[in-house]
A and B are shown apart, each in its own frame.
Chain A
Amino acid sequence: MGLVSRGAAEAGRGAASAVDRPGPPDAVPNPTPTPPAEGADPGSSRPGMVLKAFFPTCCASADSGLLVGRWVPEQSSAVVLAVVHFPFIPIQVKELLAQVQQASQVGVTVLGTWCHRRQEPEESLGHFLEGLGAIFSHRPWFQLCRERGSKSWSCKATHWQGPASPAASGEDQVMLIFYDQRKVLLSQLHPPTALPDRQAGDTTASAGGLAAVFDTVARSEALFQSDRFDEGPVRLSHWQSEGMEASILVELAKWAAGPVCLFLACLLSLISAASACRVFKLWPLSFIWSKLSTCEQLRHRLEQLTLIFSTRKAESPAQLMRKANMLVSVLLDVALGLMLLSWLHRKDLIGQLADALIPVADRVAEELQHLLQWLMGAPAGLKMNRALDQVLGRFFLYHIHLWISYIHLMSPFIERILWHVGLSACLGLTVALSILSDIIALLTFHIYCFYVYGARLYCLKIHGLSSLWRLFRGKKWNVLRQRVDSCSYDLDQLFIGTLLFTILVFLLPTTALYYLVFTLLRLLVVAVQGLIHLLVDLINSLPLYSLGLRLCRPYRLAAGVKFRVLEHETGRPLRLLMQINPLPYSRVVHTYRLPTCGCHPKHSWGSLCRKLFFGELIYPWRQRGNKQD
């Protein structure tokens, strides 16, 4: 199969070059071979090399003219950007191209001729087109031709050798690749995720190929300013010739954006200056601010709003996307918050909530008292040490009593407070959820206190036990060497040590039980708070604008390209259609995710279990080095 295909390849190649010259222009080279002035082909091309011509679909129905674009010698491909129509003056065309080259840093030149003709070949046009090859020297010189109303295309690319060898010009096969200019202009290519050991410099080198095509089209905005319907000296055909789309609302929004941004930026800077003033840095207030997650969320939102409304333009597309994502996230947040507010007010839930809060707090306290009574008796059939049990139980019961008194003191103000808190939902659903999390933390403050007491007691006991256990075996902890060494104790030391060890061992079950019960309660509260924080993080970090863009305009976020082979006849050049392959949703979320407050649990399950066993206090999330309830 391999040998047969190679033979067929040779035959095919020979046939294509011999057949279908468009009319009179012959393979006879220009009698006065001009030495190539610019765009010289480096050395002679090898026979049988296939050149690629990227042709915009909008120009497929344009009238005859000159092809204008960029030649990329490394990939031997020509990117056609526009077609210049007859009549034109070559000097003006060269001027325009020089202007565009300066404005966009893209090497735009005349690449060849484009012939879109009716059935009868026109002799004069053919010779004229040949002559143009002499005026605009570019090697290789492309000649694309299409018959009006049919699907048959023909193209050839000719090289002129230098004056040293004025033999027959070499011809190369050309492969036509059609692309949608508008979509390629607007899309942004996302290369596959780089391996961690690659350096930044390598990606640009290996990106080549199609990234060069996208880059060329994106940077040649200056070429697309004028059109064939404009009155200028040069008439071009490109994607704008099919009709420019614009929207009055978008234009108005752009015009109004400037002053609005300025005003909001001033307002936000005032707010941030006010919040950074010295009063809030005093000790009790700063301590409270650092503990509440609401303040964290508000600060985060303030930062985001400052970034959105800053008067500096976004430098890169990634920054622009980030701004847009933040704006949509804030708007959605506020919309959800307002919905929540309207729902609360419609059913007068705030009043009901305020009325229900005190009884719920009472109920919780009552349940805790029952629990403690149970622990003071014979919980689960275990026999507790009577005296210690009574002491601990009474201690905690007194705390609960204090707590209930405080709640009852606060009860007249609860409804007012809740009403104001409900108002804060118009700042966003995330703020309302953070306040809910803080309210839960405040209401279960006594559980937190009990946990701390129980944990400290248990921790002390465990440390004492381990140290006395070492004494029991005749060993000691060497602090200098951080290891266990043997040690000879005196008799009275051994006696006291063993006695204390025995006492602690027999008191262990009681302490351990209290510790276990309060740790479980604390973990329950932490789990509820964790769920709320997870929801807040989700709303904060989801890139909704990018997802919406992927849904509605999938060509804007490109993971790559895909090709489709169009109708092919033997002897004609190969035609492909290049379409944009959109980014999958998972990569969109991964690439454009917004940074959150960064409060994630820092412990692994193993270290968590270890801490629980030894009675060390666990702080489930740390924010910027601060501990949080």
Chain B
Amino acid sequence: MEDEQSFSDICGGRLALQRRFYSPSCLEFCLSCPRITLRSLTAVTCTVWLAAYGLFTLCENTMILSAAIFITLLGLLGYLHFVKIDHETLLIIDSLGIQMTSSYASGKESTTFIEMGQVNDVVINEAIYMKVIYYLCILLKDPVEPHGISQVVPLFQSAKPRLDCLIEVYRSCQDILAHQKATSTSP
């Protein structure tokens, strides 16, 4: 079962939330970030090349122009491979754990998996950064103290959705966590 909804992030860009319901114990959320626009790409390239041309008129060395081309190409490749995140996925599997995947624009994927035994709860936290923003995070259990919290892992850091989108994700996560707590065998 799959459905898609449209939200906006804290800067006003458009986000698409895709929800896949595999089974009562397995749920996947995929949040797509706004794409890189032709306008911004052209603006950056023009700036770099104009600066290089300005330097060229001062120094009369053609190496500057070829260097500018190389820098633009390498910079674009590096940006697509290391910086620009295409979509972020959250996969919750009851009794296994929670997995977060970030897919970059070049196809690279970076995944983190947290076992259910370490998860204390999933909450929406508030942060004050020029204005109040909300973010979803996973609270990890402290091994020493049974009810303590050792670490806070924020989710959807690149997409930065607004509260309405977070509430959708939060409700589904809480359902699964409640179901998991009800049927867990270990105390």
Contact = CB atoms under 8 A, between A and B. Distances in A.
A154 to B, nearest CB: 14
Nearest to B115: A209
B183 A1 contact: no
B64 interface: no
Contact of A52 (B96, B101, B175, B179): B96
Given A8-B24, A574-B22, A50 B144 contact: no
Contacts, number: 93
Contact of A49 (B91, B144, B185): B185
Chain A interface helix/strand/loop/mixed: mixed
B143 A202 contact: yes
A565 interface: yes
B29 to A, nearest CB: 12
A208 B40 CA distance: 48
A1 B143 contact: no
Interface stretch (B54-62, B124-132, B166-174): B166-174
A562 B113 contact: yes
B130 to A, nearest CB: 31
A560 B186 contact: no
Given A50-B183, A202-B143, A581-B111, A563 B96 contact: yes
Contact of A175 (B25, B28, B117, B185): B25
B82 interface: no
Nearest to B116: A209
A583 to B, nearest CB: 12
Contact of B23 (A6, A12, A205): A12
A13 B94 CA distance: 14
Contact of B28 (A45, A46, A565): A565
B171 A1 contact: yes
A568 B6 CA distance: 25
Interface string A63-84: 0000000000111100000000
B22 A1 contact: no
A161 B113 CA distance: 36
Interface string B80-100: 000000000001011111010
Interface string A30-58: 00000000000000011011101000000
B17 to A, nearest CB: 12
A576 B99 CA distance: 13
A186 interface: no
A8 B99 CA distance: 23
A209 B23 contact: no
B91 to A, nearest CB: 7
A605 to B, nearest CB: 32
Given A1-B168, A563-B93, A563-B99, A208 B117 contact: yes
Contacts of A202: 143-144
Interface in A152-188: 173, 175, 177
Given A46-B183, A560-B113, A5 B24 contact: yes
B117 A574 contact: no
Interface in B97-147: 97, 99, 101, 111-113, 115-118, 143-144
Contact of A2 (B28, B144, B174): B174
A195 interface: yes
B172 A5 contact: yes
Interface size on A, as a range, is 35 or more
Given A76-B95, A563-B96, A205 B143 contact: yes
Contact of A48 (B113, B143, B174, B183): B183
A562 B183 CA distance: 24
A239 to B, nearest CB: 23
A198 interface: yes
A210 interface: yes
Given A50-B25, A175-B25, A565 B118 contact: no
B150 interface: yes
B113 A581 contact: yes
Nearest to A46: B183
Contacts of A206: 117-118, 143
Contact of A5 (B93, B99, B175): B175
B163 interface: no
A198 B143 CA distance: 8
A106 to B, nearest CB: 21
Contacts of A205: 143
Contacts of B171: 1-2
A76 B185 contact: yes
A197 to B, nearest CB: 7
Given A49-B183, A74-B186, A574 B113 contact: no
A120 to B, nearest CB: 30
A197 B142 CA distance: 11
A26 B183 CA distance: 26
Contacts of B23: 12, 568, 574
Nearest to A74: B186
B104 to A, nearest CB: 14
Contacts of A45: 185
B102 to A, nearest CB: 12
A92 to B, nearest CB: 34
Interface of B: 20-26, 28, 91, 93-97, 99, 101, 111-113, 115-118, 143-144, 150, 168, 171-172, 174-175, 179, 183, 185-186
Given A2-B174, A8-B21, A209-B116, 9 more contacts: A1-B168, A5-B172, A46-B185, A177-B96, A202-B143, A202-B144, A560-B113, A563-B91, A563-B113
Interface of A: 1-2, 5-6, 8-10, 12-13, 45-46, 48-50, 52, 73-76, 173, 175, 177, 195, 197-199, 202-203, 205-206, 208-210, 560-563, 565, 568, 574, 576, 581
6 contacts: A5-B21, A12-B24, A50-B94, A50-B95, A52-B96, A562-B99
